[in-house]
Structure formats: structure tokens, C-alpha cells
Amino acid sequence: MPVLNESAYLQHAVESVLAQDLDVPAELVLALGPSTDGTTELARALADGDDRIRLVDNPAAHIPVGLNAAIRASRYPTIIRVDAHSELSPGYAARALRTLERTGAANVGGVMHAEGRTPFQKAVARLYNSPVGLGGGAYHGGARESEAESAYLGVMRRDVLDEVGLFDETIRRGEDWELNLRIRQAGHLVWFDPDLSVTYWPRESWLRLARQFRATGAWRGELVRRFGRRNGLRFFAPPALVLIVAVAIVVGVLQLTGVLAGVSSLIAAAIYLPLVAYALLVLAVALAPGGGGIRQRLWTLLVLPTMHLSWGLGFLAGVLRGARDTVDASRLGTRNTPLP
């Protein structure tokens, strides 16, 4: 488990791991980044209270670096990746081990089920669980057990990781997709089991959400630069929306200044049609059954475009110039750096 500034979530995440009922030896390795909110002190207290918890340092604070440090420090033949912002469902680990054995897969993942506490977080969670929000990947709501492109978190065979290499430490986001690509290219199976469920707690504020999605989009753009058509078509929808918005703004300015008029203005106005359709989609999602109270529905009107546009803007930047040193700064105050 890579950990950075997770004082509000770490204890529940750790408890969900330690509560897993297994008939084989297990340990929890925490890779500690340079937290500034008391997370490190909390992790040390938890480790002092349970000898199954081991600590390793992750001074770079990057997720793949921390994951690799924890994997290298681990002692058992199966690696279960967990997240400090999530909680494993009861029986998760035992079922995952059975699925690995039954399918012969190298990596098994399940459903990321987002939950929220505040109206804002509930709105985000609902969109995480919807194909409209995150594009319909199996682990956001798939119902059929099947071979998969990637796996959420992942329960992996250590010998396969040793064969293909660990996480690529030059990739700050999307490192799981890239690892699963190498696993599949080596002839191994990645498997989705919908009966495996992990509760995920989204970001708690609009600004943190926008930062998270911009960084994630930038690294998907970087992955497109590196791996091209191996990326699914769904990843190109948000940047297409950004480009349509940009063109619509230019057309609007030209119309207001009189540069476009008459028939040419009417033809150019066609660019507004997909935006009207998108606005109606956002409104329909906000008003749909299960949308919660009025505050949650109002947040949905803002959150859904924020997710798509932030991701799309990041993607275009990542494709055009590479992700470079972009990191997810959504837990780090105002600075775009993993260090305090």
C-alpha cells in the first residue's frame, strides 16, 4: 500500500486489510511517502500494534516507486495491491486467491465501488460508478467475469512480476495499465472478477478532483505517445470534447465580432450541436433516479464536466508535449510536487 497524506483514511484501509480471513501467512507492507498530515505517525502506531504490518520508505512519493519498494520488501508469492483511499470487502483476498488458482491468471482484479460522505463526494462517487463518468471500464461496473485489459489494484503472481518486471517508475499515473500490457504481451492472462469489490473514497473537493483528473489525463496522453493504438478508443472522448469547446469559443467570438455572418455563420454554428447534446446529457444524469438530494444533483452538474474537461485538457497536453513531471497533486495543497 503506497501512502501519502491519508490520515483520514489510512486506519480504515489498514483495518479492512488485516480483517481478511486467510489460511496462509500474510503481511501488509506500507510504502510511506513524506506526509505532512500525521499519516506517517499513524502508520508507525499501527505497525507497533500489529506485527503483520511492515514499513518501507518512499521518499520520492510516487506511486510506482512506492509499490516497487513494497513488493521488493515483501516475502510471499502473491502480491495484493491495496490503496489507502479504499477498503477491501470481506473475503476479498481469499476469493482473489481462489480466482487466481481457478483461472490460471497472472493478475486478477474486481470492481471499484466508489462511496461518498458529503453531497459533493457522493456526486463524484456516483459518476465513478457510471460509464458516463469514467468511460465504461469493466472495473467501474462490469457484471460478467472475463479476460480483461487491466485490473483495478490487482492480485498478482510474484513470479510473473519477476518475469516481466515491476511497475515502470517513469510512469506516474496509469502504471497499472502499462504493467498489465506487459503481462499480456508475455502471454499471461489478466482476469476480471465482478465478485471482488473494493470501496473507493473519491477526492473531497472540486479543486482536488480537477487536479487529480488533469494529472491522470496527462499520463494517459503520455501512454498514447508511448503505446499508440494499444489505448482504447474511449480515452479519446474527453479530449474530443475539449477540442469542440475550444472551436465553439472561437466561432462564438468570430460571430460576436461580425467576422462570421450570414450563411457562413449559420454553417459554423453546427459546432454548437454536440455541446447542446452534451449539456442535455449532463442534465439527464443529474436528474436521473438515484441522483440523491438537491445538493448532490447540483454538484453533478459541475462534477461531470469537470471530470471530462480536466482529463481531456491533461490528455492533450500529455500527447503534445508528454506528461514530463506532472504528478497528482490532489492531496498536496497547492503545489504540483510530491514533496511537502
Is residue 81 within 8 Å of 167, Cβ to Cβ?
no
Decide which of 142 and 258 is more confident.
258
Mean pLDDT of 314-331: 86
Is residue 179 within 8 Å of 92, Cβ to Cβ?
no
Is residue 140 within 8 Å of 128, Cβ to Cβ?
yes
Report the relative pairing of strands 146-147 and 53-57 from DSSP bridges: unpaired
Query: Structure pTM?
Result: 0.87
Mean pLDDT of 308-327: 93
69-89 confidence digits (pLDDT tens): 999 999 999 999 999 989 999
- Report the alpha-carbon distance of residue 180 to residue 268 in Å, rounded: 43
- Report the alpha-carbon distance of residue 10 to residue 88 in Å, rounded: 12
Mean pLDDT of 36-64: 95
Q: How confident is the model at residue 331 (pLDDT cuts 50, 70, 90)?
A: low
- Whose grid coordinates read 438515484? 290
Give the closest residue to 30 by CA, choosing from 16, 18, 47, 45: 47
Question: What is the number of alpha carbons within 13 Å of residue 28 lying toward its C-beta?
Answer: 30
Among 21-25, 141-145, 332-336, the range of highest mean pLDDT: 21-25
What is the model's pLDDT at position 135? 64
Give the closest residue to 209 by CA, choosing from 151, 290, 128: 128
171-185 confidence digits (pLDDT tens): 998 999 999 999 999
Percentage with pLDDT > 70 across the chain: 93
Q: Is residue 47 helix, strand or coil?
A: helix
Q: How confident is the model at residue 20 (pLDDT cuts 50, 70, 90)?
A: very high
Q: Compute the residue count for the chain.
A: 340
- Which H or E run contains 243? helix 237-256
231-278 confidence digits (pLDDT tens): 677 889 999 999 999 999 999 999 999 999 999 999 999 999 999 999
Is residue 7 within 8 Å of 35, Cβ to Cβ?
yes
What is the model's pLDDT at position 308? 97
| 11 pLDDT higher than 90 | yes
Give the closest residue to 86 by CA, choosing from 183, 198, 4: 198
Residue 164 one-letter amino acid = V
- Report the alpha-carbon distance of residue 169 to residue 20 in Å, rounded: 29
Distances in whole angstroms, Cα of residue 321 to Cα of each of 144, 224, 327, 336: 38, 12, 15, 17
